Amino acid sequence: MKIILISLFSCVWLMAVGQREEKMDKEKEENIFITPVTHTPIFGTCIDEEQRVCTHTKLIEFFVKNIKWPQRVSCYEGTILISWIVELDGNISNVKFLRDTPEAWENEILRIIEKMPKWIPAKRNGKPIRKNYFFPLRIKLEG
C-alpha cells in the first residue's frame, strides 16, 4: 500500500522566502506586495505568536486530509512549487506552478486549493494587502 507523505522544506527556508524582496514585474501594477509585511497571511485558526509556523502546519494538515493520489501518476515523487495570491477578502487567486508538474497533480492541487477556507489576509501598517504565498509540496511514495 502506498502512503503519501507530504512535507515542507524547513521552516527556515520558508521564512526566508516569505521575507525576501523580489524583483517586481507586472504584479507591481496590481498592488501585490512581495516585500516584508507587518502580518503575513494566516491559514486556519492560527492566532498565536508563531502564526507562520502554525499556518504551514495547518496547510499541511489540510492537504493531507483532502489529497487523493492521482492514478495516472502513481510513481511520481518530487517537490511541487506552488504560489498563489491571498486577496484582500481572504480568497485565493492566481495559482501558479513554479516547476513542471504532471497535469494530474496540477488538477488535484487546484481541487484542494478550491476547497480551502478563506485566509486572513496579510497586513501592512494595520491594513489588509494582497500578498503572494509560496508553498513547496513534497510528494513521496513509501511502502
Per-residue pLDDT of the chain (143 residues; tens, 9 = 90+): 333 334 333 332 333 334 333 333 444 445 555 556 677 888 877 776 678 888 888 999 999 899 888 776 667 788 999 999 999 999 999 999 999 988 989 999 999 999 999 999 998 888 999 999 999 998 876 65
* Cβ pair 98, 83 in contact under 8 A: yes
**Grid cell digits, residue 64:** 493531507
In the chain, the amino acid numbered 143 is G
Which residue has 525576501 as its cell numbers? 20
| CA neighbor of 36 nearest in space, from 21, 53, 14, 55 | 21
Does the pTM surpass 0.75? The reply is: no
SS3 call for 30: coil
Angle at 96 between CA 128 and CA 125, to 5 degrees: 15
